[in-house]
Amino acid sequence: MNQPQPKKYRDYPSLVTGDVMEVLQAQAITFPEFLSGLTHLADYAYAPGKWTLKEMSGHIIDTERILVYRLTAIARGEQVSLPGFDEDEYVAGAHFADRQLSSFAEEFSSLRKANLYLFQSLSSTELGRSGIASGKPITVERLLYTIAGHLIHHIEIINERYIGSDRR
């Protein structure tokens, strides 16, 4: 299954408008509510070889965890280059199809709410720290925007390719 890589398609931080902390807080509520209305599409993939909505939801959660790890490591002064990850291998290695879509909504909500404590605790010094992730330099602040923008990107895909393709 071949989902778009950030560098090939979108600059996730550029998708964020307004205060990033407000966007991140709102997403903790709005995304789970959004998913809850899509249970009829849970096992739908808009084309052969594309992820189902469950798989995309699992990818969103996995990616949030990875980006928050990177953010934490860099904020704390990590100097070692942080590895990338193959999102397709992660999805293939999971068993997202065995779960209910509602469990992804609940998990995302809990995960984001917990992450917000970290995000809100970051000082201006920590926000300005930079490190290397996936072979490229990045700041803690840019990671906040990437986290918010990644979700915005996938909501756009869901709206265009899942809901827009819903002919049921």
pLDDT in tens, 61-105: 999 999 999 999 999 999 999 999 999 999 999 999 999 999 999
Phi-psi region of 36 (alpha: psi -120 to 50; beta: other; left: phi over 0): alpha
Domain that holds residue 115: 51-168
Residue-level pLDDT at 166: 54
Q: What's the pTM value of the predicted model, to 2 decimals?
A: 0.92
Crossing angle for the helix pair 20-36 and 140-157, to the nearest 10 degrees: 30
pLDDT in tens, 6-44: 444 469 999 999 999 999 999 999 999 999 999 999 999
CA distance 93 to 75: 29
- 161 three-class SS: helix
- Residue 85's nearest CA partner among 93, 77, 76 is 93
For residue 78, count CB atoms less than 10 angstroms from its CB and return exposed for 0-12, middle for 13-18, buried for 19 or more: middle
Number of domains observed in the structure of the chain = 1
141 domain-assigned: yes
112 domain-assigned: yes
Mean of the per-residue pLDDT values for the chain?
93
CA distance 152 to 135: 24
